[in-house]
Amino acid sequence: MTGNRAQVITEADRRLFQALSEARVLDRVQASEVTGRREVSVSTSNARLLKLTRAGLLRRFFTATEEGGLKALYTLTATSAAAVGAAYRPLQRKSDSVLTSDPFVLHQLGINSIYVQVKYRPVPVKDVHFVGWLSFPEVLCNAIPLIPDGYFELQVPAETYSMFCEVDRGTESQKIWTKKTELYLQLAATGEFTRLFNRNRFRVLVVVETARRLLEVRKTIAQRTAKIFWFATLNDINRDGLFAAHWLRPVGDNRLSLL
């Protein structure tokens, strides 16, 4: 069940393979969080990822960092997908290649910053529990042609928080954001959300790359609603965590925690 050499698959490895079946691609930090190796040394984490790569259980390629270095990224192979009974959906990238620009991969890594934190990191709020994560390969329904980047639920004693995720890398026009806003408002107002998810209310978490972009998108959405949308930068959630008090609403300057 390996490539060129025998390799014992641990439970941590299985968690990584299962996460990759949903997340498609993870960097080292995200992989370490999934496997529970976040607190171990970088060299130890890298050594395990290298062993899995050499054994044919992971595919590796690289992307440039803002500091001018290279960051390793990992995806499933057919062997590791089979090890956890997952469908194999390969990314058509050459092993050990350097991606100078890959919008899909960079966008997916942004989504995975939310996915990994909410699913694999303990929620830092008492009596709050992660319920589940959904990805959407197609529109939610014909009446509302919306494809969110992700959706998760958190259970608290009195209710369930439902949250859609939208990761913006600055490539979508404000016209597209206007349309997205209208679709989410339709989802809330028409009862389609309750019909599809059996929940009453939802939030939309909009995560952008820069503070300037946050202001642009927030202004566009605020022209149509002061409700349901929450905004933060990717740097904020990666540095301070998803639940820290850095979230803004469409109107107002108060920084809020997610719960």
259 residues of the chain, pLDDT tens digit each: 444 444 689 999 999 999 999 999 999 999 999 998 766 667 788 889 999 999 999 999 999 877 778 899 999 999 999 999 999 998 888 888 998 788 999 999 999 999 999 999 999 999 999 999 999 999 999 999 999 999 999 999 889 999 999 999 998 999 999 999 999 999 999 999 999 999 999 999 999 999 999 999 999 999 999 999 999 999 999 999 999 999 999 999 999 999 9
Give the model's pLDDT for residue 65. 79
Give the model's pLDDT for residue 92. 87
CB-side exposure of 257: number of CA atoms within 13 Å?
Answer: 8
Could you tell me the CA-to-CA distances from 146 to 90, 140, 184, 251 in Å, in that order?
Answer: 25, 6, 8, 24
The DSSP-derived string for the chain is --SSS--PPPHHHHHHHHHHHHHS-EEHHHHHHHHT-TTS-HHHHHHHHHHHHHTTSEEEEEEE-TTS-EEEEEEE-HHHHHHTT---------TT-EES--HHHHHHHHHHHHHHHHHHS--SSTT-EEEEEE--SS-SBTTB----SEEEEEE-SS-EEEEEEEEE-S-S-HHHHHHHHHHHHHHHHSSHHHHHHS-S--EEEEEESSHHHHHHHHHHHHTT-SSSEEEEEHHHHHHH-TTSS-BB-SS----B---
Q: In the CATH hierarchy, which fold is given to the domain comprising 11-100?
A: Arc Repressor Mutant, subunit A (1.10.10)
For the chain, give every domain's residue range: 11-100, 106-240
The pTM for the full model equals: 0.92
- Return the CATH class of domain 106-240: alpha beta
Give the model's pLDDT for residue 6. 45
Give tens-digit pLDDT for 156-210.
Answer: 988 999 999 999 999 899 999 999 999 999 999 999 999 999 999 999 999 999 9
Give the model's pLDDT for residue 182. 97
Give the model's pLDDT for residue 194. 96
Tell me how far apart the alpha carbons of residues 121 and 208 are, in angstroms, rounded to a whole number: 21
Give the model's pLDDT for residue 193. 97
Give the model's pLDDT for residue 158. 86
Scan for tokens 């130890």, then name that residue.
Answer: 44
